[in-house]
């Protein structure tokens, strides 16, 4: 393969690194406000497309690699735990005093200081996303990391953090994945962590719990933790560096902090608590005859999945890439060994260096992973909405080439869950699939594959070629094989919903499994029909039944991978529309009517749409929150499935996007200047301390997190969501409005 062997760390988008070519944002901020709305939207779209192309990457200058094709990969932003867990890992590994490590570790610690909240909610602490309640585990890990790296516990910011942690119940309330760090550093007993026996790797497929039956991300996280659970590594720290002061009940340091359900004695939770006690009893009395075999099997499972020829880190995501370094050291691996050196390189590639002459702002932050295939697939699809194709624009053709070169061609964990008749599928031969990252061949996913397939189909081919659509057709074969029995699709596997798994003590990341979800199912229906599957196909019929049955009483759909009901509703309605189920004759499908009524009800007074991730905590907040560019685009696209472009709800959403488009480049920590000077973005004024990214005129500003990793646990800010989704929505509006400006917008090729 010609693919690079290491990802390109995304850097801040700066004029010197992209282009000196200016972006013309309409006919000027004042005069544009008085154009008819279709003309103004067309001008906004022109500027947004130009700015989106300026964000495209065309080389790998950071590692000296030659040009690898045109693609997009923006910073993927998580919360403070990425910095704190990295620092804690370095202390566990006794690497914090390495002269080569010290300067950057101090700058990572500075990121924690920079992101500590100085205003409500959660003054003095850290949260999962802007506007979230404070998260006790995030606060404990950040406080501990800062203390280990020199911050005195009586410093004002440390005292504020400690007071907040104690008010939230103390370190006693940490989730189990955080407790593992505390155990490795001697702050709690390993008995305070849930038992994860490495013998799980030996269980047969007929057993209720099997590695293939948990989510792909859970597999990669729990097996390194199982090695740690069995080997129990501990680095003892001086007492003055510990965090005894964060515990309310010191007895919690020696026991699993999971309460017994006294109201339902026969609950799954109580059953697994008994299992945990039994496993720890067996561990204490050395009643694990298969332990040596299990340790060897778990080690080999991990080594196969960190081979740099197939992946760029275990699961290519941050948590297992941290755990695996701790697990391999516990197994006796030296830091000089190739497996450890590669693991360090893969994880360190997530760093983003943000130098500043201001010592307060000078820092390094980390990403949870890279998102190049996802970003590129969506950007490509958005540009095809604007009428661009591989035949008409060589930049589109090069983007398709890059995606084709990212096809997964090996067999991963997904094969074992297929129906027997589908297990002969071989990627690169009779099927095609893509992963989210630069290289993660063990774990291609349905969502990325569906996105890339429909984008390639819409882009078409250069004259005389068929490779883009041929690849899309092969993707259809894999996607159909991955459909679940309930008619929906999950992210990484063909699976079943096993709710009892969420009661396992180490399942408090709220994503032990990977069942069907409406957002992926809706996108997948649209992809299949775009790529030629007839709407009458039985697989489509099953998927539509799944979608309709999962609509919420209010008319929306829950969103698994984006915040939240706005995202789920957009994706579900896209599937219904592609299948012709949104409107029959002159009457809309009841599901579509309910969805549009709900969207009208939650549209903000300013015309935009927004929803905080707090809606995962409180259903009454569904569809409620400050307007954002990405969520307004999702809602606008959904409205356009049913409503004419002259509908007031549509026009108000279009106007919001036009008003809030950036008139000038926006620098980190600086307020934005939208085209309409009267438009106020609450993110700019209230959340600017969390805004590290430089953005371009023609794009949009967005501080809120609108992506979801694990609901209620981990959220994301995709720094291109605020750009390519508005391009997609405005392009659809301009086309539906008849393109009254007379600009040369090619019409979209008929789908199917």
Positions marked active-site:
447
Picking from 465, 493, 497, 459, the residue whose alpha carbon sits closest to that of residue 479 is 493
Asked if 93 contacts 325 with a C-beta cutoff of 8 angstroms, the reply is yes
Calpha distance 368→628 (Å, rounded) = 23
DSSP run (H or E) holding 616: none
**450 Ramachandran zone, left/alpha/beta (phi>0; psi -120 to 50):** alpha
Owner of token pair 């400050």: 626
In 82-92, which positions are buried (b, 16+ CB within 10 angstroms) versus exposed (e)? bbbbbbbbbbb
DSSP state of 704: S
- What value does the CA radius of gyration of the chain take, rounded to a whole number of Å? 25
Calpha distance 544→579 (Å, rounded) = 8
Q: Is 440 helix (H, G, I), strand (E, B) or coil?
A: strand
Picking from 452, 291, 304, the residue whose alpha carbon sits closest to that of residue 379 is 452
Calpha distance 365→111 (Å, rounded) = 6
Q: Which residues contact 580 (CB under 8 A, 6 or more apart)?
A: 535
CA 363 from chain center: how many Å?
A: 23
CA distances from 555 to 231, 513, 572, 590 (A): 50, 26, 11, 9
Owner of token pair 């006294």: 262
Calpha distance 589→548 (Å, rounded) = 10
Q: 3-state SS string over 95-134?
A: CCCCCCCHHHHHHHHHHHHHHCCCCCCCCCCCECCCCCCE
Calpha distance 425→13 (Å, rounded) = 40
Owner of token pair 């997964």: 408
Beta strands in 434-494 (DSSP E): none
Calpha distance 472→528 (Å, rounded) = 9
Neighbouring-strand partners of residue 583 = 588
Say what the alpha-carbon torsion angle 579, 580, 581, 586 is, to the nearest 10 degrees: 180
Asked if 402 contacts 71 with a C-beta cutoff of 8 angstroms, the reply is yes
CA distances from 22 to 25, 313, 323, 662, 725 (A): 9, 38, 45, 13, 22
Asked if 695 contacts 13 with a C-beta cutoff of 8 angstroms, the reply is yes
**81 Ramachandran zone, left/alpha/beta (phi>0; psi -120 to 50):** alpha
DSSP run (H or E) holding 196: none
Asked if 299 contacts 331 with a C-beta cutoff of 8 angstroms, the reply is yes
Neighbouring-strand partners of residue 440 = 311
CA distances from 497 to 134, 215, 283, 512, 514 (A): 31, 11, 31, 10, 8
Picking from 30, 24, 23, 36, the residue whose alpha carbon sits closest to that of residue 734 is 36
């Amino acid at each position: 393969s010609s693919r690079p062997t290491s990802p390109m760390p995304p850097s801040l988008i700066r004029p010197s690194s992209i282009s000196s070519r200016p972006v013309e944002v309409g006919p000027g901020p004042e005069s544009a406000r008085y154009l008819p709305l279709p003309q103004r939207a067309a001008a906004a779209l022109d500027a947004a497309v130009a700015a989106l192309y300026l964000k495209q990457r065309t080389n790998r200058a950071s590692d000296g690699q030659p040009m690898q094709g045109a693609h997009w990969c923006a910073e993927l932003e998580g919360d403070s735990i990425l910095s704190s867990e990295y620092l804690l890992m370095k202390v566990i590994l006794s690497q914090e005093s390495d002269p080569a490590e010290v300067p950057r570790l101090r700058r990572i610690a500075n990121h924690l200081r920079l992101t500590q909240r100085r205003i409500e909610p959660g003054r003095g602490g850290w949260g999962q996303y802007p506007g979230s309640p404070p998260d006790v585990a995030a606060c404990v890990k950040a406080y501990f990391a800062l203390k280990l790296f020199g911050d005195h516990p009586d410093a004002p910011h440390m005292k504020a953090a400690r007071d907040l942690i104690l008010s939230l119940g103390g370190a006693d309330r940490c989730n189990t994945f955080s407790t593992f760090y505390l155990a490795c550093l001697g702050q709690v007993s390993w008995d305070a962590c849930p038992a994860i026996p490495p013998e799980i790797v030996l269980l047969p497929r007929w057993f209720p719990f099997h590695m293939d039956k948990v989510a792909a991300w859970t597999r990669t996280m729990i097996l390194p933790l199982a090695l740690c659970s069995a080997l129990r590594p501990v680095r003892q720290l001086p007492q003055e560096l510990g965090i005894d002061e964060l515990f309310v009940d010191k007895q919690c340091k020696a026991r699993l902090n999971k309460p017994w359900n006294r109201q339902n004695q026969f609950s799954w939770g109580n059953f697994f608590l008994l299992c945990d006690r039994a496993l720890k009893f067996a561990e204490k009395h050395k009643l694990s005859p298969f332990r040596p075999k299990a340790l060897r099997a778990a080690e080999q499972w991990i080594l196969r999945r960190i081979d740099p020829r197939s992946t760029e880190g275990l699961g290519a995501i941050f948590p297992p890439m941290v755990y695996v370094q701790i697990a391999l050291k516990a197994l006796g691996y030296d830091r000089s060994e190739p497996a450890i050196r590669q693991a360090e390189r893969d994880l360190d590639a997530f760093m983003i260096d943000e130098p500043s002459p201001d010592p307060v702002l000078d820092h390094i932050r980390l990403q949870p992973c890279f998102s190049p295939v996802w970003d590129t697939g969506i950007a490509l699809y958005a540009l095809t909405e604007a009428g661009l194709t591989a035949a008409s624009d060589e930049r589109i053709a090069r983007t398709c080439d890059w995606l084709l070169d990212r096809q997964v061609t090996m067999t991963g964990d997904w094969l074992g869950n297929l129906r027997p008749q589908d297990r002969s599928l071989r990627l690169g031969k009779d099927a095609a699939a893509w992963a989210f990252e630069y290289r993660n061949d063990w774990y291609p996913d349905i969502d990325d594959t569906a996105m890339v397939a429909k984008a390639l189909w819409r882009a078409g081919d250069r004259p005389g070629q068929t490779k883009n659509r041929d690849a899309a057709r092969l993707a259809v074969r894999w996607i159909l094989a991955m459909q679940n029995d309930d008619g929906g699709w999950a992210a990484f596997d063909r699976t079943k919903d096993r709710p009892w798994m969420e009661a396992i003590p180490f399942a408090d990341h709220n994503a032990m499994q990977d069942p069907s979800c409406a957002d992926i199912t809706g996108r997948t229906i649209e992809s299949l029909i775009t790529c030629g599957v007839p709407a009458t196909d039985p697989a489509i019929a099953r998927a539509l039944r799944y979608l309709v049955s999962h609509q919420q009483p209010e008319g929306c759909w829950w969103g698994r991978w984006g915040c939240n009901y706005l995202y789920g509703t957009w994706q579900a309605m896209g599937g219904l529309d592609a299948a012709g189920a949104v409107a029959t004759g002159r009457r809309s499908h009841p599901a579509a009517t309910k969805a549009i009524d709900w969207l009208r009800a939650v549209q903000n007074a300013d015309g935009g749409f927004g929803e905080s991730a707090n809606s995962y905590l409180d259903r009454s907040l569904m569809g409620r929150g400050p307007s954002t560019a990405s969520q307004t685009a999702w809602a606008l696209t959904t409205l356009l499935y049913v409503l004419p472009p002259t509908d007031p709800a549509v026009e108000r959403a279009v106007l919001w996007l036009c008003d809030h488009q950036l008139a000038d480049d926006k620098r980190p920590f600086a307020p934005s200047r939208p085209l309409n000077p009267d438009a106020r973005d609450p993110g700019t004024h209230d959340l600017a301390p969390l805004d590290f990214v430089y953005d371009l005129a023609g794009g949009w500003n967005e501080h809120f997190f609108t992506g979801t990793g694990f609901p209620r646990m981990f959220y994301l800010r995709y720094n291109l969501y605020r750009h390519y989704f508005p391009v997609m929505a405005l392009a659809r509006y301009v086309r539906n409005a008849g393109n009254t400006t007379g600009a040369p917008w090619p019409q979209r090729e008929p789908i199917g």
